[in-house]
Amino acid sequence: DAGVTQSPTHLIKTRGQHVTLRCSPISGHKSVSWYQQVLGQGPQFIFQYYEKEERGRGNFPDRFSARQFPNYSSELNVNALLLGDSALYLCASSPPGGRVADTQYFGPGTRLTVL
């Protein structure tokens, strides 16, 4: 079975621009989460979506937004990019139901560089 997929793999933008990152979850998974990982740190939680509804939001500014589509794929949007937004952006999906819903499986990430 295919794992979580993300596109693009790499992206270079300049300050002030906007970026859209895309994610497709594992087949059958309805929950998608987004994380930001800067060099030398663990991933930081940005958003979680389940059945197209936002279930949770981390401590990120309003420049960050996301949505989930009827096929459970998701987009992360970041406006007015800052140098500090340079990071690996990870998408994770979770299986439905019960304890296993806590377990998240990560895609390969999108490496964003802001110049």
Partner 1 sequence: RKEVEQDPGPFNVPEGATVAFNCTYSNSASQSFFWYRQDCRKEPKLLMSVYSSGNEDGRFTAQLNRASQYISLLIRDSKLSDSATYLCVVNGRGGADGLTFGKGTHLIIQP
84 contributes a contact to partner 1 by CB under 8 A: no
| Per-position x/- string for 11-50, each x denoting binding to partner 1 as judged by CB under 8 A, each - no binding | --------------------x-x-x----xxxxxxxxx-x
58 binds partner 1 (CB under 8 A): yes
Using a 10 angstrom Cβ sphere, with 0-12 exposed, 13-18 middle and 19 or more buried, the burial of residue 6 is: buried
Question: How near is the Cβ of 42 to partner 1 at its closest, in Å?
Answer: 3
Place of tokens 């802001």: 114
- Concatenating the DSSP letter of every residue in 22-63 gives EEEPPTT--EEEEEEE-TTS--EEEEEEETTEEEEE-S--TT
- Sign of the C-alpha dihedral computed for residues 37, 71, 56 and 17 taken in this order: positive
Considering beta carbons, is residue 32 or 78 the nearer one to partner 1?
Answer: 32
Nearer to partner 1, 85 or 93 (CB): 93
Residues that bind partner 1 (CB under 8 A): 31, 33, 35, 40-48, 50, 55-56, 58, 88, 90, 92, 94, 99, 101-109, 111
